[in-house]
Chains A and B, each alone.
Chain A
Amino acid sequence: MFNILIIDEDASSNRKIEEILKNKTNYVLTAVPSVEKATELIAPNFNKEKAPASTDGPPALKPQLIFVDITKIKGEVAQWYIEFYEILKAGSNENTPIILLSLSSDPLFIRGFLGAGVHDVFVKPVITTSLETTLNYFINNNNLPIRKMTPMKASVEMYFPALAQEISEFEMKLITTQQISLNDFKPIYGDFFKWSPERRVIARCTQCQEDEETEGYYIETFTFVGVPPAITKEIRIWLKSQYVAQKQSAKQK
């Protein structure tokens, strides 16, 4: 029996998954509306450390796959995953893969909800082939289906997340896990300037050094290159407003 647990209150989505699995045997589907309800099923003694382990009642659920709707990920994402991992561990399910369910298909939105243990993300309504491929993957000892690769030539851009630490109208200091070669030109965009992948700045890496405080991280300075006057103006306005806000907040303190 292959146990699947869904943590989602979206009845239509749950029904869709149920329908896909209807004609297949050996699947047991359990849907709960919240993480709390899921905890009761998979780790009944979680948060009841003082209470003796109960032998009464049905045995704890041992899911082989857990679907979690991203709206269930509350608060700070990394912290949520740490807490959820504890729940899984309490029920000896720490290796159970997680599949996120999302109404939005925007990768830049979904990216903010990814964490340790996430195997895949399904956009609602779930595509039959995606679900079948994933289930087959787990049933067939993690073997991926045969892919018929078609040779293709095209340029692909990858968005590599970084954290801006300091910004002036000419340059930006970032923390990343990727070491960038000096004088490499990279387009950069960030929501905070209302930039977008289509509207962004090019910058040259003028400094790159290992972060002494955190292993595996680099502190890099990027100088803006070929910045259109409109963007320079936007940056200045934003900087001014932030500067004023910071001053006011310091005064209030």
Chain B
Amino acid sequence: MAQIMVVEPDELVATALTKIFRGDDEIQLTFSENFLSAIETLNGNPKFKATYEKYKQISDAAKEELLVATQKEIVAKNTWNSAAEILAKYQSDLETITNLAAEAKPAAPIKENEEQKLTLIKEIARLSVEVKGHKEALILATKLKTEKEKIAQEKLNIAEEAKANIPSASNEIYSVLVISSALLVPSVKLWTEALEKTLIFQANKEIKIVVLGFESDEKNVKKYLNPRISDYMIKPVDELLARQNIKFLALSDKKPQSEVYSLQIKEPVDLVFEYELESMSEFSFILNSRDKFAVNEFKAFNCNLFLRKNQKSVLAKCISSTEKVGGGFLSEFWFSAMDTHLAFQIKTVIKNAPKI
């Protein structure tokens, strides 16, 4: 049986949903007063959150300790590296001076070189001790990091295992969340983000969302459609449509309802794709798109810029479609089937275009 969580303050709609699924052995509805109480139910046992938080803290602290140890190791490595570099330079200088002194000896020893040599020998001795110390510090830091890594991993494993084993209220897994559009505040995007953060019970994290709203025009409906939301239904909900679509989302076995009949047809339809206009000339326009277009293909376009009497679309032929740096395509389309009105309209738009 599939569980459906309904968060709908409108009693009429809630009653309608109850009526739709009454007697349905495959669906069980759970009503919640508001979004927060729904989340609590979806997260399961009230103790779940506290326990989850406890293990989350253990896991976060372990991650933090590991990060500190890793940073310490990096610092120790850098200090050792720079000291070792200076030592290597001094050793090279000493070698050069020793060679020079050896060449000059038969004639007359150079006093300055001898003095410099002595200073370098002293510095090298001092630095060698320093480098040795740094090397030891690095070995210690690496050892500490390895230990912390081991401890952190153990803690993480314990926390993850504990989180996975925390029971929900009755181990109930919900398939669909039906929610009123009025509750998606302050915006659909922010609400979706809040849901992702607050819904922590793993088994319910993938719950499908159906929004119920009064808005019926495309512009407003589109506001509610994002990859996280699966469906939007207009109130008052159509019984057959609601039963079909909600069941379709709730059940893994997606059989059409018996009262639904479909027809085999052969009819042309249009799918509408949206793109961004980049630039325009009196002959052509360039689109920014995710898809590559086939050159020489004609397409019909609609844009407010092409608006003219009784007609909103234009026909254009793709003359180039090239990949952009960073992904996507820039495709140039040549205006076709231009009449004098459209030609005039395009010229006016270009003339009045704001400077970008």
Contact = CB atoms under 8 A, between A and B. Distances in A.
A232 B241 contact: yes
Given A106-B311, A148-B281, A183 B305 contact: no
Interface string B236-280: 101011001100100000001000111111111111111111111
B269 A225 contact: no
Interface string A100-123: 001001111011001000101111
A74 interface: no
Given A105-B311, A197-B302, A166 B281 contact: no
B223 to A, nearest CB: 10
B150 interface: no
A152 B280 contact: yes
Interface stretch (A8-16, A41-49, A57-65, A169-177): A169-177
Contact of B312 (A129, A158, A197): A197
A156 interface: yes
Interface stretch (B128-136, B141-149, B198-206, B227-235): B227-235
A186 interface: yes
Contacts of A178: 271, 291
Given A149-B280, A165-B264, A242-B263, A229 B238 contact: yes
A168 B311 contact: no
A127 B340 contact: yes
- Which one of B273, B278, B314 has the highest number of Cβ atoms from chain A below 10 Å of its Cβ? B273
A162 B268 CA distance: 6
A225 B299 contact: no
Interface in A35-86: none
Contacts of B244: 170
Contacts of B112: none
A225 B284 contact: no
B225 interface: yes
- Which one of A118, A155, A158, A204 has the highest number of Cβ atoms from chain B below 10 Å of its Cβ? A158
Given A130-B338, A189-B270, A232-B238, A166 B303 contact: no
A133 to B, nearest CB: 7
Contact of B263 (A102, A163, A168): A168
Interface string A185-229: 111111110000110101010100000000000000001011111
A246 interface: yes
B179 to A, nearest CB: 15
Interface stretch (B31-39, B60-68, B101-109, B214-222): B214-222
Interface of B: 216, 218, 221-222, 224-225, 227, 230-234, 236, 238, 240-241, 244-245, 248, 256, 260-287, 291, 298-305, 311-315, 317, 319, 334, 336-343, 349-350, 353, 356
Given A108-B300, A111-B315, 13 more contacts: A127-B340, A133-B283, A145-B283, A149-B284, A152-B279, A153-B356, A163-B268, A168-B256, A178-B271, A178-B291, A226-B218, A226-B233, A229-B234
Interface of A: 102, 105-108, 110-111, 114, 118, 120-123, 127, 129-130, 133, 144-145, 147-172, 174, 176, 178, 180, 183, 185-192, 197-198, 200, 202, 204, 206, 223, 225-229, 232, 239, 242-243, 246
The 7 closest A-B pairs by CB, nearest first: A190-B269, A107-B315, A168-B262, A226-B221, A147-B281, A149-B279, A187-B272
